[in-house]
């Protein structure tokens, strides 16, 4: 796929923006119920903390503003979420609902190491 090599920075930037927006959406669901409420009633403290990290981290990753640091924190949060929330339900990620957490964890770890790519506010 040599023809895509010249667009690697742009593809990395678009991947950062899309993953940041989807992560931001997960946080908004926890904090303000947009686009749909997550659960019913009040949000437990651990879920509230996760929502705050997801909203702030998702916004920073999307904008490409200190995205390496934000991605590193979000990667850790997803590892924590997997082992606290999903792994106890079973070993296989497709069955315990943790496949998205694993993908986010490693995607954000990659963004932390590779940088934000194109379309970023800064390269940090």
Q: Each residue of 25-72: pLDDT tens digit?
A: 999 999 999 988 887 778 899 999 999 999 999 999 999 999 999 999
Residue 123: inside a domain, yes or no?
Answer: no
Assign 3-class secondary structure to 38-77: CCCCCCCHHHHHHHHHHHHHHHHHHHCCCHHHHHHHHHHH
Is 100 inside any structural domain? yes
Range of the domain at 47: 12-114
Quote the pLDDT of residue 112: 98
Q: What is the pLDDT of residues 64-77, one digit of tens each?
A: 999 999 999 999 99
For residue 68, give the H/E element and its range: helix 67-81
Q: Give a yes or no: residue 2 inside a domain.
A: no
Residue in the block written with tokens 């339900």: 89
Is residue 63 assigned to a domain?
A: yes
């Amino acid at each position: 796929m040599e023809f895509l090599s010249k667009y690697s920075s742009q593809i990395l930037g678009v991947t950062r923006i899309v993953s940041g927006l989807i992560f931001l959406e997960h946080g908004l669901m926890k904090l303000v119920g947009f686009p749909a409420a997550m659960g019913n009633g009040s949000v437990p403290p651990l879920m509230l903390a996760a929502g705050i990290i997801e909203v702030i981290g998702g916004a920073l990753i999307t904008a490409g503003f200190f995205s390496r640091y934000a991605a590193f924190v979000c990667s850790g949060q997803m590892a924590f979420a997997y082992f606290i929330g999903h792994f106890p339900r079973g070993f296989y990620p497709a069955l315990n609902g943790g496949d998205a957490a694993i993908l986010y964890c490693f995607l954000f770890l990659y963004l932390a190491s590779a940088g934000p790519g194109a379309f970023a506010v800064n390269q940090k």
